[in-house]
Amino acid sequence: MEELDTEIRVGELIDTIEYDYPTFHLSMDCFWCEVVAGHLELKEAEAAKWLTKDQLDSVVWLPADITLIDKIREQM
């Protein structure tokens, strides 16, 4: 609700990402989610878009996201 004004159902864990950026350490749990109610409205992010499996490489991902994107691709 906080970032998308949408109710979701949290599913299985995709992976936990651990990444050391120059000024901080990121630890991020990533889950499959399903929209339950509401409409997706970006409140915090600068940009977002829906991507098909074939479009995943059309985005310049942040370093911490790259391993996650590979795991998402494998499970799609």
pTM above 0.85, yes or no: no
| Domain CATH number, residue 57 | 3.90.79.10
- Tally of structural domains, the chain: 1
Residue 43 to residue 52: CA distance in whole angstroms: 23
6 has a pLDDT exceeding 70: yes
Domain range holding 28? 6-75
The tokens for 20 are: 């050391």
Confirm whether 1 is domain-assigned.
no
With contact defined as beta carbons under 8 Å apart, do 22 and 61 qualify? no
Residue 63 confidence class, pLDDT cut points 50, 70, 90: confident
Q: What pLDDT was estimated at residue 1? A: 66
Single-letter amino acid, residue 25 = H
Confirm whether 26 is domain-assigned.
yes
Residue 49 confidence class, pLDDT cut points 50, 70, 90: confident
Triad 15, 72, 45: Cα angle to 5°: 85
Q: What pLDDT was estimated at residue 23? A: 94
